[in-house]
Amino acid sequence: MRNLVTMVVAFMAVACGGTAGDPTADTMQQRASAQSSAPAKEDVCGEPFKGPSWGTTTSTVEFPLVHNLFTGPAIVSGLGRSQVVFPHDWNLIDKSVTGFMTITAANGDELFARVTGSAMFRPDGLIADLDQFGSFEGGTGRFVGAEGSFSIIGTITRATGAVVVDMDGYLVRNRKCD
């Protein structure tokens, strides 16, 4: 909303044929920002983190661990189209999953998360159900100091390594609000 108000005010300043003595678009933006009741974007503490990811996993086995590398795109609220890289281990004995995920936004900012959970094959052994939990541990750019958590629910197809998941949680990007 604040950006819309700023754009309208700046447009009006230019469209109305302002003169050299009139306020500039920058000054008008400052005034609009000062009068807006909407919080500044940098003051927003948290936001939903939600969206799908899909891709493939490659694996190597060193019993009792399967070392996996998932790579693929994601479309996540607050990040847009992103790229996910998730090296992780799957324990064949207790079915636990542990790893560290990097999500790279379109502008190159990276968001880091530690992930734990499980991968359980269905009785037919063809598809595994993924039930995992991630905790954000900072990042680069706008994700420096990021916190929050999210769930990862989805499947992996054994024959192809194809993975489809939904991520759902909350991302806190700015601790100035504490």
CATH of 46-177, one of 3.30.1310, 3.40.390, 1.20.1740, 2.40.160: 2.40.160
Mean pLDDT score of the chain:
80
pLDDT at residue number 21: 38
- CA atoms 105, 110, 116, 120: torsion sign: positive
Helix (H) or strand (E) holding 157: strand 147-157
Name the H helices within the chain.
2-15, 25-35
- Determine if residue 117 is left, alpha or beta; phi over 0 gives left, psi from -120 to 50 gives alpha, anything else beta: left
Asked if the model's pLDDT at residue 120 lies above 90, the reply is yes
Q: What is the pLDDT of residues 144-154, one digit of tens each?
A: 999 999 999 99
Matching residue, tokens 């070392």: 67
Q: What is the pLDDT of residues 59-115, one digit of tens each?
A: 999 999 999 999 999 999 988 899 999 999 999 999 999 999 999 999 999 999 999
User: What are the extents of the domains in the chain?
Assistant: 2-38, 46-177
Give the pLDDT mean for 115-129.
97
